[in-house]
Amino acid sequence: MTPSDRFPSAPVIDAIAWVRVREGRVLNVRAHGKDAFYLPGGKREPGETDAQTLVREVAEELAVRLDPETIALFTVIDEAAHGYPAGTRVRLACYTAEAAGDPVPSAEIAELAWLGPDDADRCAPAGVRVLAELTARGLLAA
């Protein structure tokens, strides 16, 4: 059964995220006014490709330039959308990419954190799923 079978008229948020792992932790951000951490990224603008969205969103949120030639699909997550009405889903295409510079929170980002498997309770549902996948692949430190 697919999510659309469970929620035939449920809205779906189409979003892109950057999966950046360093020293066994994955980079997450928390926007002002939000209670959970998310992977950096966001929604595409009309006509944008996944890569264009990823590069733009990460630059806006973290003042980091991603190398478009290193962008690679990590996973696609379908999960309940945190902070939206019940039944709303998020389809989150998650990519890895090399970056120039160290992430610095922008005006829309309240804080950034490098999280591990024990931090799942601090993350939105889609982020919890990514933490589990990174852990299963042996990429996060316990």
102-131 pLDDT, tens digit each? 999 998 999 999 999 999 999 999 999 999
66-87 pLDDT, tens digit each? 999 999 999 999 999 999 999 9
Mean per-residue pLDDT of the chain: 93
Is residue 14 pLDDT above 60, yes or no? yes
The predicted model scores a pTM of 0.91
Residue with tokens 């902070």: 83
Alpha carbon distance 43, 64 (integer Å): 18
- Position 4 scores a pLDDT of 46
Report the SS3 class of residue 4: helix
Go through the domains of the chain in sequence order and give each one's CATH number.
Answer: 3-136 (3.90.79.10)
